[in-house]
Amino acid sequence: FPIVVLISGSGSNLQALIDQSLQGQLDVKIRAVISNKADAYGLERAKAAGIPTHTLNHRLFDSREAFDTELQQIIDQYSPKLVILAGFMRILTESFARHYEGRMLNVHPSLLPKFKGLNTHQRAIDAKENEHGVSVHFVSAELDAGAVIIQASTDIAHDETAESLAKKVHSLEHIIYPLAVKWLSEDRITFHDGKVSFDQKI
Ligand code: GRF
C-alpha cells in the first residue's frame, strides 16, 4: 500500500509509521517523504530508513497555486494510494485538496471541531477544557474541517502547561495515526460524499 508523507518538522509521526511498518504491524510502503523545509529533522529520519526525500521550499514560489502544482507533480510520480500530512505546516489550495479528496489524511492536535488552527494546547487550557486530544481526519479544502476518522483524548490537569499537554497529545498521535493508516490500507474505511464509513470488523 504505497503512501507519501509530507512534513515540515520533527517527523515523530513519520517515525511512528516507519517503526510500525518495520515491525510488520502496518503493511505500507513509504515511497517518499517531502518537506517544505530543508532543515526538517524528519528528512533525516526518512534517510535513515532508506526512503527517498524531496525538499520543496515554498518561499521560492510566487503563489500557493504554483507551489501546490509542483508538490502535486512530485507526489503523483510515486502513485501513492494515500498522502499523509504529518506536521506539514502549509495551507493547501482548494484544487490540491480536491485532487486528493478521500486519499489524504492529516493529524490535528485537538478534539475537532474544537480548536482548529494553531496553538491548540494553550487555547484548550485557556478555555478551561477538562480534556484535550488529537484527531486524524480526511483533508478537505477548508482548514481542519474534513471528516474525522479517529480521536484520542487526555485529561487536562489543573497545573497543565501547553508543553506538558503537547507531550501527552503527541504520544497519542503516534498511536492513532498509524492505526488510521492501517484501516485505510486494509480497506476498512471508505470515504464517500465527505463522510467516513467503517467496516464492521473494526
Ligand atoms: C503534531 O503536533 C501534529 O499534531 C501537528 O504537527 C505536529 C507534528 O509533529 N499537526 P511531528 O513532526 O510528527 O513530530
Mean pLDDT of 52-71: 97
Mean pLDDT of 1-30: 97
87 C-alpha to center of ligand 1: Å? Answer: 4
Q: Do the domain assignments include residue 126? A: no
108 C-alpha to center of ligand 1: Å? Answer: 8
Predicted pLDDT of residue 199: 84
Please report how many Cα atoms fall inside a 13 Å half-sphere around the Cα of residue 150, on the Cβ side: 18
Q: Do the domain assignments include residue 11? A: yes
Statement: the pTM of the whole predicted model exceeds 0.90: yes
Question: Above pLDDT 90, what percent of the chain?
Answer: 95
Q: Do the domain assignments include residue 160? A: no
pLDDT above 80 for 200: no
Q: Do the domain assignments include residue 91? A: yes
* Average pLDDT value over all residues in the chain: 96
Tally of structural domains, the chain: 1
Of all protein residues, the one whose alpha carbon is nearest to atom 1 of ligand 1 is: 87
Predicted pLDDT of residue 114: 98
Q: Do the domain assignments include residue 31? A: yes
User: For residue 18, what is the domain's CATH number?
Assistant: 3.40.50.170
> Tens digit of pLDDT for each residue in 110-146?
999 999 999 999 999 999 999 999 999 999 988 889 9
> Tens digit of pLDDT for each residue in 185-199?
999 999 999 999 998
pLDDT above 80 for 46: yes
Q: Which residue has the cell 521560492?
A: 60
The annotation status of 10 as a binding-site residue, yes or no, is: no
pLDDT above 90 for 54: yes
Predicted pLDDT of residue 142: 87
Cα 136 to Cα 37, 78, 86, 158: the distances in Å are 23, 23, 10, 26
Give the domain extent around 27: 2-109+134-155+173-198
182 within 8 A of 1, measured Cβ to Cβ: no
Q: Do the domain assignments include residue 167? A: no
pLDDT above 70 for 202: no
Angle at 42 between CA 32 and CA 189, to 5 degrees: 55
Q: Do the domain assignments include residue 122? A: no
> Tens digit of pLDDT for each residue in 87-113?
999 999 999 999 999 999 999 999 999
Q: Which three cell numbers, joined as nine digits, stand for 36?
A: 517544505
pLDDT category at 84 given cuts 50, 70, 90 is very high
73 C-alpha to center of ligand 1: Å? Answer: 24
Predicted pLDDT of residue 31: 98
CA dihedral over 166, 167, 173, 176, signed as positive or negative: negative
Pocket of ligand 1 (CB under 6 A): 7, 9-13, 42, 86-87, 107-109, 170, 173
**Active-site entry in 108, 121, 137, 174:** 108
Q: Do the domain assignments include residue 70? A: yes
pLDDT above 70 for 35: yes
